[in-house]
């Protein structure tokens, strides 16, 4: 079963962390990534851009309208996301609880019960 794991934070969260703490935080995250890539349970790990880089696209009457910022009116936004492929929800929870940022920010776990296979090339 596949799961989406997301880390949420805010610009305030990211900027409040002293610069000298970032290398250790990144190293902890890379160790997490390696641990679960090596078991085959982590199939993708992605850090997102800042909230200032987010664009929202809406198509109305055939024309795309692009606006700045996250869709939701909130200070928090998705900072990173991971795709897991695990035996069951219990294992997904165990891995999500092991995300280094879980001690600082909320980590969300979403089941991905539907998958559209990529076309064969």
Domains of the chain listed by start with CATH number: 2-112 (3.30.70.1060)
- In the chain, what are the helix, strand and coil shares in percent, each to the nearest 5? 35, 35, 30
Average pLDDT per 10 consecutive residues for the chain, totaling 121 residues: 88 85 93 97 89 82 84 66 95 95 86 86 83
**Model pTM?**
0.79
* Paired strand residues for 83: 4, 44
Cα distance from N-terminal residue to C-terminal residue, the chain: 25
For residue 48, the SS3 value is coil
């Amino acid at each position: 079963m596949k799961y989406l794991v997301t880390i949420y934070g805010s610009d305030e969260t990211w900027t409040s962390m002293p610069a000298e703490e970032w290398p250790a935080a990144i190293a902890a995250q890379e160790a997490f990534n390696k641990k679960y890539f090596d078991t085959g349970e982590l199939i993708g790990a992605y850090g997102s851009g800042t909230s200032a880089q987010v664009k929202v696209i809406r198509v109305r009457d055939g024309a795309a309208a692009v606006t700045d910022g996250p869709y939701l009116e909130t200070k928090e936004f998705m900072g990173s996301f991971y795709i897991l492929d695990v035996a069951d929800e219990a294992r997904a929870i165990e891995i999500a609880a092991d995300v280094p940022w879980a001690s600082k920010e909320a980590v969300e776990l979403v089941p991905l019960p539907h998958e559209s296979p990529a076309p064969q090339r």
